[in-house]
Amino acid sequence: MSLNAESTAFRSALEVIRAVEPRVADAIGAELADQRESLKLIASENYASPATLLTMGNWFSDKYAEGTVGRRFYAGCQNVDTVEALAAEHAKELFGASHAYVQPHSGIDANLVAFWAILADRVESPALKKAQVRQVNDLTEADWFALRRELGNQRMLGMSLDAGGHLTHGFRPNISGKMFDQRSYGTDPATGLIDYDRVAQAARDFKPLILVAGYSAYPRKVNFRIMREIADSVGATFMVDMAHFAGLVAGKVFTGDFDPVPHAHIVTTTTHKSLRGPRGGMVLCGPELADQVDRGCPMVLGGPLPHVMAAKAVALAEARRPDFADYAQRIVDNAQALAEGLLRRGTTLVTGGTDNHLVLLDVSGYGLTGRQAEQALLDSGIVTNRNAVPQDRNGAWYTSGIRIGTPALTSRGLGTAEMDVTAELIHTVLSQTTPGANADGTPSKAKYVLDPAVADKISKQATDLLAGFPLYPTITLG
């Protein structure tokens, strides 16, 4: 039997790896097998194309390329220049942005680049000006103190964590929470939706330097036109972190007021979530912030990863093809079908539904914590993650929610009919699971009871469902 190019490529790669450390080759093979068998509903994960994956495994990884295209601190970067320029070009065309910086290694890094760029652009400090023109070594002790005081006093207004915001939007476990004096806006307790009047009020009261929009667990569209008006009314810089929904922007599901790029001063994203590229990040902005953004490395980033920038160029080229728009629309159709299937079975959903790729279940109606639900689903072959719901009574560790998303299953080809089956599987597991007790008889927020026969049966049904939609169908590892 003659093998297709993709199978040949991955088989040969594994053969080469196996000769050095067979356990790594085995783990790579096992990872494919596991991913093929699991019903992956993690809203932030996806499956990159074989072309994108293969682009990361080569000698571009050997190259240092600090600096920017055509202005490197290392010699011999002509081929890195080619791929970095291509990735930026595709990003600009795809998102209609005037500038794209494709070096960030992840979404968190992209946010750090953006924060620094905004501070460097906005904060009137002689010490900061010295630092930003690369005279960092000339800064005196007094300069550093002054700089720390000025930067530490800057304010950020972002979405609260329990409403779906992200740690990097000024929360303490992330450096942004130490860099900024942060206040957050939540959602309306009755509807679960962003109340723009309250965001405007918070902005007037707090006068932030940066207004951040974007989320990891908010199942609705955000009106970025209104958010920009709010930012403008208080002189704030408007930043959008589209890490989760970049694929829906790329695929033109979010347009007009819901497309962040024309409305924000600066947009950050990951490339590996709904955008379906390699693990990485990216910053888009207008000409005003471009120079500061390009200082990302070495200001806050380590050396660029040329092999990943090359893979970003490949993935972004894929996202510019017409079938990506179709993919993006199917992600949302699937999320809505999943939401409807759950609602019909009596599940409580935060905001009562979804406009995007994710659905947030409030599992307290099943008498469970998010942690119990997450583990019971995992036992049944369904991979999700627990997540806080607004005003969560179980806190950020146990939570009362389960977040599910459709980018990955949509990449496999599952459609709305399969989403209804998925809703049935989820509902069956949650309704058959009961909370467990601690050794002393008190109720546990972690332990749960689920008949293993039920878990096995659901696992088998999940596998059957996936059998019709093979993952990486062109690849057989033999």
Ligand X SMILES: *Cc1c(COP(=O)(O)O)cnc(C)c1O
Residues that bind ligand X (CB under 6 A): 44, 106-108, 166, 168, 214-216, 241, 243-244, 270, 281
Taking the least distance from each CB to ligand X, the nearer of 108 and 300 is 108
Taking the least distance from each CB to ligand X, the nearer of 77 and 108 is 108
Q: At what angle do helices 416-432 and 322-344 cross, to 10 degrees?
A: 40
Q: Check 63, 122, 279, 447 and give the catalytic one.
A: 279
Taking the least distance from each CB to ligand X, the nearer of 127 and 328 is 328
CB of 335 within 8 A of CB of 359? yes
The helix/strand/coil state of 63 is: coil
Q: How far is the CB of 164 from ligand X (least distance, A)?
A: 9
Task: Give the residue carrying structure tokens 């939609």.
Answer: 469
Q: How far is the CB of 104 from ligand X (least distance, A)?
A: 8
CA–centroid distance for 136 within its chain: 33
Q: How far is the CB of 12 from ligand X (least distance, A)?
A: 30
Q: Which residue has the closest beta carbon to ligand X?
A: 107
CA atoms of 292 and 362, how far apart (whole Å): 42
| Residue 463, token pair as written in the block | 């596998």
Q: Check 11, 45, 64, 150 and give the catalytic one.
A: 64
- Is residue 457 annotated as a catalytic residue, yes or no? no
Taking the least distance from each CB to ligand X, the nearer of 214 and 251 is 214
Q: Check 40, 72, 273, 330 and give the catalytic one.
A: 273
Q: How far is the CB of 468 from ligand X (least distance, A)?
A: 30
Q: Check 6, 84, 121, 241 and give the catalytic one.
A: 241
Taking the least distance from each CB to ligand X, the nearer of 270 and 410 is 270
Q: Check 36, 37, 63, 66 and give the catalytic one.
A: 66
Q: How far is the CB of 45 from ligand X (least distance, A)?
A: 10
3-state helix, strand and coil shares in percent for the chain, rounded to the nearest 5: 50, 15, 35
CA atoms of 267 and 259, how far apart (whole Å): 11
Taking the least distance from each CB to ligand X, the nearer of 240 and 376 is 240
Other CB atoms closer than 10 Å to residue 431's CB: what's the count? 16
- Is residue 321 annotated as a catalytic residue, yes or no? no
Taking the least distance from each CB to ligand X, the nearer of 10 and 218 is 218
**Of 344, 368, 334, nearest to 443 (Cα)?**
368
- Is residue 270 annotated as a catalytic residue, yes or no? yes
- Is residue 66 annotated as a catalytic residue, yes or no? yes
Q: How far is the CB of 175 from ligand X (least distance, A)?
A: 12
Q: ∠ CA(90), CA(318), CA(266), 5° rounding? A: 40
Q: How far is the CB of 58 from ligand X (least distance, A)?
A: 22
| Residue 120, token pair as written in the block | 């460097």
- Is residue 63 annotated as a catalytic residue, yes or no? no
Where are the alpha helices (H) located in 133-185, listed in sequence order? 141-152, 175-179
| Residue 427, token pair as written in the block | 């509902």
Q: Check 52, 55, 187, 270 and give the catalytic one.
A: 270
What's the N-to-C CA distance of the chain in angstroms? 12
CA–centroid distance for 380 within its chain: 25
How many CA atoms are closer than 13 Å to the CA of 183, on its beta-carbon side?
16
The torsion region of residue 344 among left (phi > 0), alpha (psi -120 to 50) and beta comes to alpha
E strands, 263-369, in order = 266-270, 281-285, 348-349, 358-362
- Is residue 178 annotated as a catalytic residue, yes or no? no
User: What are the residue numbers of the active site?
Assistant: 64, 66, 241, 270, 273, 279
